[in-house]
């Protein structure tokens, strides 16, 4: 990825796109990310019943998505060290993401 595209804005947009893809099959609404996480991590089987009713909320507090843009090897060898990273919960608003950047 060219250095000009390694920005906090592009990281935020990519973060949102990844979350949208992960939750595309979830019932839409404020609980889509929790539903996705519950279905991704909950043991499969009818005998578990309602034992995991609040697991989605707990997973939302724990699971973090990280998006990182780093230079390609040939760019790094030329001295390009610009990196950007954004991290947050799947249901985080853009202003809640944590950013790290080097230039």
Q: Give 66's strand partners.
A: 87
Q: Give the whole-angstrom CA distance, residue 80 versus residue 103.
A: 8
Q: Give the whole-angstrom CA distance, residue 5 versus residue 18.
A: 17
Read off the pLDDT of residues 42-81 as tens digits, 9 standing for 90 and up: 777 665 556 656 778 888 999 999 999 999 999 999 999 8
Q: What is the per-residue burial (b if ≥16 Cβ within 10 Å, else e) of 90-99? A: bbbeeeebee
pTM of the model: 0.84
Residue 13: DSSP 8-state? H
| Average pLDDT of the chain to the nearest whole number | 88
- For 1-103, strand residue ranges (E) read 65-69, 83-88, 98-102
Q: Residue 22's domain spans which residues? A: 3-102
The domain tally of the chain equals: 1
Q: What is the signed CA dihedral for 17, 20, 25, 31, rounded to 10 degrees?
A: 160
């Amino acid at each position: 990825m060219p250095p000009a595209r390694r920005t906090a804005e592009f990281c935020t947009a990519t973060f949102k796109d990844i979350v949208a893809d992960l939750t595309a099959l979830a019932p839409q609404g404020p609980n889509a990310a929790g539903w996705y996480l519950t279905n991704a991590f909950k043991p499969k089987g009818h005998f578990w019943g309602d034992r995991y009713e609040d697991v989605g909320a707990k997973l939302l507090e724990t699971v973090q998505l990280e998006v990182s843009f780093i230079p390609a090897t040939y760019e790094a060898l030329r001295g390009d060290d610009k990196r950007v990273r954004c991290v947050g919960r799947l249901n985080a608003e853009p202003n809640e993401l944590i950013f790290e950047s080097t230039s």
